[in-house]
Amino acid sequence: MEWNIKKFEEIPNDELYALLKARVDVFVVEQDCPYPELDNFDQDSIHYYLKINGEIAALVRLLPKGLKYSDAASIGRVMVVRKFRGNGYAGLIMKRAIKFISDEWQADKIQIQAQVYLRAFYESLGFEQITEEYLEDNIPHIDMLRIRK
């Protein structure tokens, strides 16, 4: 297992391609959801990802306070590549992402847009629902917030 945490400009081209391909494979192809995956947040985000035997296994994108939400940092593009699912990697990478945001950015609030079916997963990590359900790219979502206590 190899954990990586990098700014956009620190990611080698081949790794960046692998990260973006993994995101498109899951969010666009697997979920059958054509949407603009490249949204101009990547360049100002921190990319946290797990590689296993040289392959991308899981990833998240960390957005500092003020980039997406004016008063909260954010975690997005949370995913585990299909062949690596069922091993607890989503929970591991989310816990590491929360710790990074808390320790490195000293952020008290983390806001996310969560697919509704993952509500219990995010609640287990301390997030609470703060909006009604809504459709984002034809997929039911809710906004959730985690406040450091």
* Beta-carbon count within 10 A of 4 CB: 15
Q: Beta partners for 80?
A: 58
What Cα–Cα distance (Å) separates residue 128 from each residue in 10, 15, 55, 82?
33, 33, 33, 27
- At residue 85, the 3 state secondary structure works out as coil
3-state SS, residue 43? helix
**Domain residues of the chain, as ranges?**
2-109
Per-residue pLDDT of the chain (149 residues; tens, 9 = 90+): 999 999 999 999 999 999 999 999 998 888 888 877 889 999 999 999 999 999 999 999 999 999 999 999 999 999 999 999 999 999 999 999 999 999 999 999 999 999 999 999 999 999 999 999 999 888 999 999 999 87
Looking at this protein, which amino acid is placed at residue 89? Y
Tell me which DSSP letter residue 65 carries.
T
Query: pTM to 2 decimals?
Result: 0.93
Domain 2-109, what architecture?
3-Layer(aba) Sandwich (3.40)
Burial 20-29 (b: 16+ CB within 10 A, else e): bebbeebbee
